[in-house]
Each structure stands twice: as C-alpha cells, then as structure tokens.
Structure 1
Amino acid sequence: MRDMIVFGEDFGGLPSSTQHLIRHLPKMRKIIWVNSIGLRQPKLNANDCRRAVSKLIGQPKQGFSTPSQVPDNVHIVNLRTIPAPSSHISRQLAKTMMLNQLLPILAEHHIEKPILWSSLPTVADLCGHLNESGVIYYCGDDFSALSGVDHHVVAEHEEKMVKKANLVLGASEAICAKFPHNKTLLLPHGVDVDLFSQPAPIALDFPQNGKPIAGFYGSLSNWLDYDLINFVALNLPGWDFLFIGPNEMPYNPLPKLANIHYLGPKPHNQLPCYSQHWQASLLPFKSNKQIQACNPLKLLEYLAAGAPIVATPFPALERYSKYVNVVESAHEMSEALKMTNYEPKHSADIVADDSWRARSQFVRSLLDMI
C-alpha cells in the first residue's frame, strides 16, 4: 500500500470532497496533505493582500482543524508559495519554493514513490519532481466557470495537469466530458449518511416563532439567485428563510427583509441541527456554466436529512428528480414551498449507496491499480 501526497483545499472548516475521501481510506497509508496553494493571483484589496501574505508565509486560513481533528496518518503542510503563477519565471520560482519545502518533509516521513493526488490544477508544475509513482487529478469543479479564479492561468495549468495525470476523476458528467475519455472516470460526491440521517437536536439559534422555515447552507456567492430569493420571500411573508454559510461577496447579498435570516458559517457536524428541523431545503441557483457542471455536496446531505427539497434545475438533479421539486420561477418556488406542508420526509435509504465510505472504497481500488 503506497503512501500519498495530497494537494487539496485548506484542511478543516467545511470539509471538501477530497477530505471526506481521504478520511475513509485505510489508516495504514501515510498521507502528506498540502493545504491550498491557490487558484488566482491576489488583487489590490485588503482581503486578497492578507491571503497572499498568508501563502507567502505558509499560514492556513481561519477554520483550520485542530490536531485532535486530523487523522493520525495525515500530516498537514502549509507551503510558502506564489498563488497561481502565470509567467514562466514566477512558475519556476513557485515550483522551486515548494520543492525545497516538500522534499525534506517526504524524506523526514520516509515516503518514497508516493501517489500524487491533486484537487488543484495549479500543482501541474510539481508533477514528475516528487518521485511519485503515479498522478491522479481529481476535478470537483469546472474551473473555467468558477468565480474568483484566474481562468486563463488555471486553464494553462489544468491542460498540463491532465497530460501528466495517469488518471483523471471528475465529480460530474459535464466535468468528465472536458477530459480525455481514455483516462477519465466519474467520481460523484458522496454523503455522510449517518451524520445527516440520525436524529440531531435542534440548534439553539434556530428560529422558533411558529413559521415554516425554508433553509439553505453553503457559500453566499454569485451563483445564488438573490432576485429569486427576494421575490419568494416577498410572496411568502408567513415563511422564514434561513441562510447558513460563509459570505464570499464584498457585501451581504441577501435581501433586507424581515423574514430572511443569516446565521453565518456553522461547523459541518452541526448542519443536521438545522437541516433536519426546517420545513424545506433550498437550492436557489442561477443557471450558468458553473452550476450546469456542479454536483453540490449539499444535495445528497439534504436528501439524507429528509426535508423536502425545492431547487432550480441543473443536470446533477436528474438522478434524484423524483425526490426534488424542480422549479423555474419565483411563483413556482413559492407554490412548491407551500406544497411541502403535505410532503412526507424522505428516507435516507435514497442515498444509502452514495456514502463517502463507498466512494472511498472505489478510490482505494483505483489507487491499487496506479
């Protein structure tokens, strides 16, 4: 069983799909986890400057896991680097900086010929320089459509990453279609079935004023349809609308209405304390290239939690369409929410075969073949 070096998102906070997969692999495998090396160059604003400095000094962002939350076989590394370098000189400098830090760490942990797993295309320049026995590129998003990314720079890195990879894994059919068919496989997101289906106590800050609640958790970003949310909240003054998650916008984009409540981000293991107790789960997405390619983690988590789901259309819904109320307008969403009063709770059996444990078993079989 070969060890691994994993380039992923910053470990901790809301766990990524890569974190879920790695946590369920056998603990005999030593894993060097490299926190995010970035997908875009910083702009001249305070937030980006802080983020750039943190990368240059190797500091993780807030929300990083404490040692007690990190599996014993996982060693986390924060590299000093240049985020998403574009020029030849900056790419060579970034590569040299990272190799000078990584190679001694691999030697210290007696890791030879590891499998290199990357969830970021900006790792491409390191491929072939870490004495790796194979390369897996796991693409969970369409980076060409992802907001807040240097699309041209990332596209160049991704093209090289795909060429270097022995195997490419895509989180959706749309993502897989971008890559060579002879080395690309579908690896959909999974779900922690037990966490989201076993009864959880209601959160202390959950609104309890007798109104039905429609809830959403996830980032407040530009792929949410705030006009739709505004119209639906106006149409249903007898409902409350609850939003949970980090705000990625420079301002609070939620409509300023009395029945819209924003609670900020919550730990992942506390989300069932909300989603099991609201009347309906929301997926109010815009229709854009990113959403057409997405396979949101929260869809399966919503299904496991059991509340009726009301969503705008996107391809990943098709497999679960008979369990989701798909709507095209604010009027349809308002009517669908009213009808959820008469819908029974879903059974977690719907997603029993989609557990992260099952996904990791599939990944383990692939690792043994590399």
Structure 2
Amino acid sequence: MTSVRRALHRDVIADSLFQPPLCNLQEPLENAPDYVFWGVIDWDFRHQRPQQLAEQLSLDGRRVFYISAALEDDPRDGFTLRPLDETGRLFEVRLFAHTAPIIYHAVPDETLIWQLRRSIGELLSWANSPQVVSLIQHPFWAPVAGVLPNSRVVYDCMDHHQGFGNNAAQLQQLECRLIREADVVLFASAWLEQHWHPQRPRTAAQQRAILRNAADFDYFSTPTERRYQDPQKRPVIGYYGALAHWFDVDLVSAIASAFAHCTVLLIGADTAGIGARLRGHANIKLTGEIPYAQLSAYLQAFDVCILPFRIEPLTLATNPVKVYEYLSAGKPVVAVDLPELHEFKQQVAIAEDTPAFINAIARALQEPGCSAASRQRQAFAAQQTWQHRVQALLNLTENVASQPLVSVIVVTYNNLAFTRDCLASLAADSLSEPLEIIVVDNASTDGSVEFLQRWSASSGHSLILNNSNRGFAAANNQGLALAKGEFLALLNNDTQVTSGWAQTLRRHLQRDPGLGLIGPVTNNIGNEAKIDIRYQDSREMAVRARQYTWRHAGLSVPCATLGFFAVMMSRSTYQRIGPLDEAFGLGFFEDDDYCRRVEQAGLSCAFAEDVFIHHHLSASFELMPGSQRQQLFNRNKAFYEAKWNRPWVPHTSREEP
C-alpha cells in the first residue's frame, strides 16, 4: 500500500466508530486476574519464553491477552483480536496506534502513550477484566502498562536489551524505571539479577526473583513419527535458534572442519550473513527458520546439540531455552562457557575453548542413543518445565506481597445500612493489598455501635467509640492519629469502593511527588469528580465502574477542591499539613480548608479518572433538620472566608462534552 493510499485509508477509518470484535470470550476465573503480556515479539515469531508462559497460564485457567510488538496503524482508540485457542482464554492483540511505530526504535511520545492507554482501556473494558497482571517484556510499554488501574506490574527481564543493536538508547531509561517501580521483577538469569542489583536495589515492597527458562518437556521428549533424515545418512551436529551477531562463526567453521564426516545442521533465521561466511564448508547446511511444530522432528535427528555463542554481555545474560529443549530429548549437549550453563554442568559439556569444544563433540558422538546419561538428562529436564515456571510465577503475582500500608479512616454516625455496605465493599476487594481500617463512631444510636463492636472483634480492625458526636474533622483526626500507614485515606461510611481503588490512588501519589491529595470520580458529588454513570445495583455498578476506569487509565485531573467523602494522601503530606481543623465542628468546609492548606504548601489536588467510588452523598447531614443544617453551613462558610480572607468559591460540575 502506498503512502497516499495509507493516508486515505486512515482518513476513512478515522470517521468510523470502533466496534469491538465478536468472538468467544471465556468468563474470568473467579478471584483470579487476567494477564496482559506486553510482548517483545509477535506471537508467530520464534516460539519461546513469551508464548510458552502465556500458553501455560491460559491452560491454568487464566485469560491471557498477548499484546503484539507490532501495532495497528489506526487513529482511533481500539484493537484487533486473534483467538489463539478454542477455549476463549488466549488471544493475540494489536493495539491501535497512529502510524504504528516500531517499538524497538524509540520511546513513545506523549500522544502515543495516551492513545495506547485508551486502546488498552477499550480491550479491558470489552473483556470486563476484574483485575490484571501486566507482564512487561519490553521497556517500550512501561508508560502504558505501568499505570493501569487495579493491576500488578511485573517486569520480565529476559534479556540484556542494550545488547541488541535495534533498541534505542532512551529505552534504557525506561527499563531503569521498570526495575525500580515494578511490583515484581523477574530475571531470566542470575547474571541479569546481578547486573541490575547494584544499579537499582529493590524497594522494601518489591519482589525480585530469578525465573529461568524451561521446556515443553512432553513435546520435545516424545519421539516423532517422521523425523528429519540427513540425505547422506551422516551423523548430525545440530543447532537451532537465531543466527545473529552473537553466533560464533569461527567456532562453527572449526567444528565443520574437524567433523567432515558429519552434517552441521543450522536451523534459524540468518540475520547476520552467517551462511555466506560458512559457504566454504560443504557439510554445513542452513535450513532457515523452521516452524515450532516441526522443531522436535529435527531435534530428534541430532546426534549432538551445540551452543556456539560468542562470549559477550548479551550471551552472558542468557539462560538458553534451547538447552532445556535439547535435554528434554535426551541429547548430548556441548556449549561454550556461559554462567547460566553451570546449573547444567552435570548434563552439559562446557568447553572453555575451541579444542575443548571439538573434543567434547567427539566424545558425545561415541555415546549410544539410549544411554543412562540420556535418561539422566531427561530426568533433569522433566523438572524444568513451563508448568513449573508458571506455578512459581503465580506464587509471585497472585499472593499479596508486602506493599506500602494504606490506612483507611471511616467516620460513622448512624446510617447502619450504609456502614455495612461500605465495610463489606472494603472486605470484598480480595485481589488487592491489605488495608488497616479504623472506624471512628460519633455516638450512633441506631445499632451501629453493637454492629461495629462485632465487626472489630471478628476482623481485627480498630474501632474508636466516642461518647458524643465530635464532628467530621475531630473524628477523622482521631483515626489519623492512630493510623500506621504510609498512605492515609479518609472514607465516608455512605460509600462503596470498587476493586483496586486504594492501590490505584496510592500509585497516583507515588508517580507525582507534587500531588498532595487525590480522590476518585463518583456518581454523586457537587464538583468535577461527578461523572455520568448509571447502574441499578452494586453488581452493575462494579461493571460500569470497570468500563469507565479502564478507559481512563493513568488519567488524573487537577481540581481546586476535593470532596472529602473519599481522599488519600501520603503520610509525608499529612505530617506537613497537619490534622483537619476541628473549628468546623460537625462538618462543612473542612475539606475546602484542607485543600487550601495543601495548596499553600505548594502541593496540588486532583481526582483520578481511573478510580470510581459510589457515594450516596451527605447521608449524615440528611439526618439533621434542614434549618440546623443551613445554619451550620452558613456559620462554617463565614468562618472559612474569615480564615482565608477570600470569598468561598462554590464547587462546580464538569463541563458537558
């Protein structure tokens, strides 16, 4: 397609609305997240770690969306989808991106970042994903995957990216951020873990682990009906994988010369002119890339498997998938001296130089086909499968790790039904991090005290019972004084939270050190945080909230004043600003006042478009006679204006689009 035709095509599709595809989609596994793989390669490229982990997770019941490294040139927000199995649990996804840049060549600019965030939001909204684990395999994706609401961020550090010639230098900065900020960092080799440790020590809340490669043991260990046959019936010294700049041409040339009676079979895409440099050896055969489904038939024909890599940072960082596969077939393996191969030293012949490599091949060629050594290699490989690796991955991603503690202060005054729903919504967020909940009751008389005593005894959370109604500010201050969290949230009892609310608000504060207070969007409030959203019950509310928040991933909107029905701040902000002003008594204007104090300290306030909390609005004040309520409002308004020597500016709703 010419550039003119491409431009015309973009103009046509830009005028049409994106429509999600129609296809079989399995419901998510109960109490389990969806997995989004942010790919370093396309699905149909060489079938290795990315595809193997994705497939095994789907077999384990998780829904998996594999984001292709190739973007779809489209100015709209959306995606294409290709089912990869019959169950409706495994898909390849191409996100829409204007001009579809190549992910290895540059970091994404702001325009592209926001389009990709909206495009992934369309996917997750369509899928009604309850929660996601973002498994990032290339740093290009970090500004998109790292801000998804209600998610855990896992960086799968599987390569020394600086060793590839096509990766932009700026991508290293993104990788440094990923290493520092991801919830979980996986290293495919001990070399990678050691390389990054002195540069980016892990935080107290971060998990790091070495998750090595593995093999599809059943596939590679099972003899095929039709295996490759060397045309001249010669012994086969075989290799498969990339034929790139790290491939040791001189070593392979020496092998071909030393074993002229053997075929040296090289399988893989030749991206470095390897074939031309080895043209002088009649016994070297290059096949090009072979589909994964046919690979075992070739491996079964190898008499000896080789790993002829040059020693350089890229290969030093490598934990070679192919070695696990070679061993699954029981084949003798001869390899250069790479650090990761020392874990195989009982199963692999490691050669320090070319003569040693040739001698090891000679010994391997003498080994009978069904030997004790062959069975030992297979026994080792049987314990190094992708099933084993995925179980280790699930233990890291789905067991709640040590995260910064969030303390939630809930002030109650009657409205027992609302309090029940609020606390139930906090407890129902089973996939999120644990919370410290502190309830402060202002002398309720409707059975709330008895309920809260039972709740505190059974849950282990804290309860403060006041003998009188001390008001909103004073009660919150009691809870704040008791709180131990690194992050502090104030939450009205007439609210219901949605999954991942606390984690997502916390991350907004962590990403923006200048942000003093952050709140959610909601269905009912008198300022810009109110959105147009409709639902009939709490179940439908959760679905509508997910659809909205996925589509607004990472977005926060500055505002002058937050409603304190739900706000969060860091402990450092609280220590800087201090407690709420109790001079406002029962309530009204203490939230305006606190926002002015945050503003005075040089910090900002914002609401997060990717967090939704249901709000009944002014439930406690509705119990107060109207005249008393108006009198309190007028009194506190006058006090606020005198304190700040300025007129109070009424809150306004957002402008309609």
TM-score w.r.t. length of structure 2: 0.50
CA pair 198-258 structure 1, distance change in 2 beyond 3 A: same
Measured in 2, the distance between the counterparts of 1:161 and 1:191 equals 27
User: For 1:276, which of 289, 294, 300 is the aligned residue?
Assistant: 300
Structure 2 portions without partners, runs of 5+: 1-31, 76-80, 401-657
**Residue 2 (structure 1) aligns with:** 33
| 1:32 maps onto 2:32 in alignment | no
Equivalent position SS for 1:285: coil
Residue 68 of structure 1 and its aligned partner are, at CA, apart by 5.5
CA pair 207-288 structure 1, distance change in 2 beyond 3 A: same
| 1:78 maps onto 2:94 in alignment | yes
Q: Which amino acid aligns with 1:281?
A: C
**Residue 361 (structure 1) aligns with:** 391
* CA distances 1:98-125 after superposition (whole Å, capped 9, x unpaired): 1232211211111243221111111111
After the TM superposition, which residues 175-186 of structure 1 pair with which residues of structure 2 at under 5 Å, given as runs?
A: 175-177=192-194, 178-179=196-197, 180-181=201-202, 183-186=207-210
After the TM superposition, which residues 10-159 of structure 1 pair with which residues of structure 2 at under 5 Å, given as runs?
A: 10-25=42-57, 26=59, 28-36=61-69, 56=73, 67=83, 69=85, 72-79=88-95, 80=97, 81-84=100-103, 90-150=108-168, 152-159=169-176
Is the 1:85–1:91 Cα contact (8 Å) retained in structure 2? no
Is the 1:172–1:188 Cα contact (8 Å) retained in structure 2? yes
Residue 336 of structure 1 and its aligned partner are, at CA, apart by 2.0
Is the 1:55–1:83 Cα contact (8 Å) retained in structure 2? no
Name the count of aligned residue pairs: 345
Is the 1:279–1:307 Cα contact (8 Å) retained in structure 2? yes
* CA distances 1:166-193 after superposition (whole Å, capped 9, x unpaired): 0100000011121434531110111111
Measured in 2, the distance between the counterparts of 1:253 and 1:282 equals 20
CA pair 233-356 structure 1, distance change in 2 beyond 3 A: same
Is the 2:244–2:274 Cα contact (8 Å) retained in structure 1? no
Equivalent position SS for 2:162: coil
Measured in 2, the distance between the counterparts of 1:127 and 1:289 equals 27
Q: Which amino acid aligns with 1:163?
A: R
Residue 157 of structure 1 and its aligned partner are, at CA, apart by 1.1
CA pair 87-305 structure 1, distance change in 2 beyond 3 A: closer
Residue 359 of structure 1 and its aligned partner are, at CA, apart by 0.9
| 1:211 maps onto 2:234 in alignment | yes
Equivalent position SS for 2:316: helix
Measured in 2, the distance between the counterparts of 1:66 and 1:104 equals 15
Q: Which amino acid aligns with 1:159?
A: C
Cα RMSD after superposing both structures: 2.5
Measured in 2, the distance between the counterparts of 1:200 and 1:227 equals 33
Q: Which amino acid aligns with 1:7?
A: W
Larger Rg over CA atoms? 2
Measured in 2, the distance between the counterparts of 1:118 and 1:158 equals 10
Measured in 2, the distance between the counterparts of 1:109 and 1:263 equals 41
What's the % identity of the aligned pairs? Answer: 24
Measured in 2, the distance between the counterparts of 1:254 and 1:57 equals 42
**Residue 238 (structure 1) aligns with:** 261
Q: Which amino acid aligns with 1:15?
A: H
Q: Which deviates further from its counterpart, 227-236 or 259-268?
A: 227-236
| 1:342 maps onto 2:352 in alignment | no
Equivalent position SS for 1:162: helix
Q: Which amino acid aligns with 2:66?
A: W
CA pair 335-77 structure 1, distance change in 2 beyond 3 A: same
CA pair 328-57 structure 1, distance change in 2 beyond 3 A: farther
Residue 242 of structure 1 and its aligned partner are, at CA, apart by 0.2
Q: Which deviates further from its counterpart, 345-354 or 323-332?
A: 323-332
Residue 324 of structure 1 and its aligned partner are, at CA, apart by 1.6
**Residue 42 (structure 1) aligns with:** none
CA pair 253-98 structure 1, distance change in 2 beyond 3 A: farther
Equivalent position SS for 1:322: coil
The answer to which structure has the higher strand fraction is 2
Q: Which amino acid aligns with 2:305?
A: S
* CA distances 1:230-285 after superposition (whole Å, capped 9, x unpaired): 12212221111001111222674550111000111112132121112221001001
| 1:351 maps onto 2:374 in alignment | no
Is the 1:221–1:247 Cα contact (8 Å) retained in structure 2? yes
Is the 2:38–2:138 Cα contact (8 Å) retained in structure 1? yes
Equivalent position SS for 2:170: helix
Identify the structure with bigger relative contact order (alpha carbons < 8 Å, sequence gap 6+).
Answer: 1
